[in-house]
């Protein structure tokens, strides 16, 4: 069977796949958010059936906002389906690969970017209905707060929409016959930019929605503290959005800074271009996935402060300070990911020539470094925020034990972050220490497997321990607030639980180091 595929065929294929990704992925978060709003209305109607009309009205409003993220996906999908992509008829040339894959990347960007926003908007909507149930006379206040929270929750999806539109309408490739280094660099830049922004929007949007939801419930509990609570909500939202800003910055750098030179645009595709794929895609993976956990964790920590203020308004200043401290530590995994991403983009240069065998090994080192830190921050980013939540709740419930609570919280956060430190170490080893001097394709593929395996083993292996240790810390702190007389026993049990939980991250580290240094 002959495969006579033209550039037009490939571009059309990519547009269709991009449209499917945009609509399919965007529908996930939007539908979850819409469903959450419905569950909130149904629960409230059971408690106050006489207010059915108001609950249903609020439900429809929040559902309409949640559905807007699916509409973004629908708009991008329609543009991709009916945009003329062009392409050669005498085979697939470099410009066809670029144009096709930038369309696919545009769809991926919007699809991923809408998941978190749709879900986060639903979280805010369902808690707005709950707040109205508790304080029906403050319905107007809750609606205004809900709209403000939803607007900020939606902003990461709007960043993704902007990047998607840029990929569709602004970027492209000069029409040329052949496949050149510049084409490969453009493909890696555009796909990387889409992945960075799309994945980078998920965690921040969920975190912002969580903070908005907690603010609504807190205002219902303490209406006299509405001003301080709204102020704290905005502060926590601003910090929670920062991981999405990091992703937007890296995405913009990939699109607008690393344009191929004239020499690269005219150079025939070779093994050295695998380095370009590794640095651009590795940087995108690092920041895209590396911001998910931190975004969620920041929202959880901010929500903990809001909950604590509503339970113990006299400790407002102390709780806000603790929130800032816990958020600073929660954000650190995202900063590690940003640093590795920028190192990949700006430190490693694409050589003028390189064998294919060596190129495959270098590609794996760069990709592995990005994967290790990108995946390795997810669990700890969320876990540190969960630990902060426990500390904030504990201080609000048992303020006389604030010192012990803070001490335990910081210790727990430090241990929670350790799996990310392991991932950071493996990432740096891959980028700066791991050596590969291969002369045959067999050796190149061998190194490709072990370098990529080392990055994935450590990155994926750090997710569960980071979450698990954070959960143990949270429950130790909340238990201390309930039973302060048993503080010693609770802390000892926490340490025992942490040690066993962390063992799996250590196993992953050992396997990664074996792949890097003991086999070859």
pLDDT tens for each residue of 64-85:
999 999 999 999 999 999 876 6
**Hey, what domains does the chain have and what are their CATH numbers?**
270-520 (1.20.120.610)
Query: In the structure, what pLDDT confidence band is assigned to residue 1 with cuts at 50, 70 and 90?
Result: very low
Average pLDDT in the chain: 91
Residue 268: DSSP 8-state: B
pLDDT in tens, 436-495: 777 788 888 888 999 999 999 999 999 999 999 999 999 999 999 999 889 899 999 999
- The candidate with the shortest Cα–Cα distance to 453, out of 422, 426, 419, 433, is 426
Encode pLDDT of 88-113 as tens digits: 777 777 788 888 899 999 999 999 99
Quote the tokens at residue 57: 């009205």
Please, how many CA atoms are within 13 Å of residue 223, restricted to the half-sphere of its CB?
Answer: 12
State the pLDDT confidence band at 335, using cuts at 50, 70 and 90: very high
Task: Count the helices and strands in the chain (H runs, E runs).
Answer: 16, 0
The structure tokens listed for 395 are 């201080």
Tell me the CB-side half-sphere exposure of residue 109, using CA atoms within 13 A.
Answer: 34
**How many angstroms separate the CA atoms of 381 and 370, rounded?**
16
- pLDDT digit string, tens, across residues 104-162: 999 999 999 999 999 999 999 999 999 999 998 888 899 999 999 999 999 999 999 99
Which among 211, 162, 192, 7 has a CA at the least distance from the CA of 100?
A: 7
Q: Per-residue pLDDT averaged across 283-304, rounded?
A: 96
Q: Counting Cβ atoms within 10 Å, is residue 372 exposed (0-12), middle (13-18) or buried (19+)? A: buried
Highest mean pLDDT among 5-9, 132-136, 205-209: 205-209
For 448, the token pair is 């490709």
**Using CB atoms within 10 A of its CB, is residue 39 exposed (0-12), middle (13-18) or buried (19+)?**
middle
Looking at residues 14-27, what average pLDDT do you find? 95
Residues 6+ apart with CB under 8 A from 71: none
pLDDT at 520: 66
Whether the pLDDT of residue 174 is over 80: the answer is no
pLDDT band at 173 (very low <50, low <70, confident <90, very high): low
Per-residue confidence (pLDDT) for residue 183, from 0 to 100:
81
């Amino acid at each position: 069977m002959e495969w006579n595929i033209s550039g037009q065929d490939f571009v059309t294929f990519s547009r269709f796949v991009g449209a499917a990704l945009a609509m399919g992925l965007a529908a996930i978060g939007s539908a979850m958010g819409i469903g959450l709003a419905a569950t909130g209305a149904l629960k409230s109607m059971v408690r106050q059936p006489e207010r059915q009309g108001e609950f249903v009205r609020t439900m429809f409003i929040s559902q309409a906002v949640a559905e807007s993220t699916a509409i973004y996906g629908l708009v991008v999908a329609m543009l991709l389906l009916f945009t003329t992509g062009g392409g050669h008829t005498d085979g697939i040339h470099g410009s066809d690969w670029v144009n096709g894959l930038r369309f696919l990347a545009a769809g991926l960007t919007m699809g991923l970017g809408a998941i978190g926003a749709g879900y986060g908007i639903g979280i805010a909507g369902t808690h707005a209905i709950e707040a109205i149930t508790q304080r029906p006379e403050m319905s107007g206040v809750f609606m205004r707060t809900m709209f403000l929270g939803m607007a900020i929750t939606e902003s990461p999806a709007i960043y993704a929409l902007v990047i998607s539109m840029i990929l569709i309408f602004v970027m492209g490739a000069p029409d040329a016959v052949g496949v050149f280094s510049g084409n490969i660099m453009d493909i890696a830049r555009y796909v990387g930019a889409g992945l960075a922004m799309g994945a980078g929007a998920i965690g921040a949007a969920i975190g912002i929605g969580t903070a908005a939801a907690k603010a609504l419930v807190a205002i219902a509990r303490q209406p006299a503290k509405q001003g301080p609570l709204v102020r704290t909500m905005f502060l926590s939202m601003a910090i929670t959005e920062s991981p999405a800003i990091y992703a937007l910055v890296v995405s913009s750098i990939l699109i607008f800074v690393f344009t191929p030179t004239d020499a690269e645009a005219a150079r025939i595709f070779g093994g050295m271009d695998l380095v370009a794929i590794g640095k651009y895609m590795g940087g995108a993976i690092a920041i895209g996935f590396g911001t998910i956990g931190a975004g969620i964790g920041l929202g959880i920590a901010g929500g903990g402060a809001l909950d604590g203020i509503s339970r113990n308004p006299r400790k407002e200043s102390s709780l806000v300070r603790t929130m800032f401290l816990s958020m600073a530590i929660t954000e650190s995994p995202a900063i590690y990911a940003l640093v590795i991403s920028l190192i990949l983009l700006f430190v490693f240069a694409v050589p003028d020539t390189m064998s294919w065998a060596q190129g495959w090994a270098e590609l794996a080192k760069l990709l592995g470094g990005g994967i290790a830190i990108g995946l390795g921050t997810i669990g700890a980013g969320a876990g540190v925020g969960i630990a902060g939540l426990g500390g904030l709740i504990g201080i609000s419930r048992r303020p006389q034990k604030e010192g012990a609570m803070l001490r335990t919280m910081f210790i727990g956060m430090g241990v929670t972050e350790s799996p990310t430190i392991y991932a950071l170490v493996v990432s740096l080893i891959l980028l700066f220490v791991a050596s590969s001097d291969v002369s045959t394709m067999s050796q190149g593929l061998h190194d490709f497997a072990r370098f990529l395996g080392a990055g994935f083993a450590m990155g994926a292996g750090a997710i569960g321990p980071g979450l698990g240790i954070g959960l143990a810390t949270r429950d130790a702190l909340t238990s201390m607030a309930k039973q302060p007389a048993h503080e010693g026993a609770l802390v000892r049990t926490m340490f025992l639980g942490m040690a066993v939980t962390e063992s799996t991250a250590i196993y992953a580290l050992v396997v990664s180091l074996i792949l890097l240094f003991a086999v070859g």
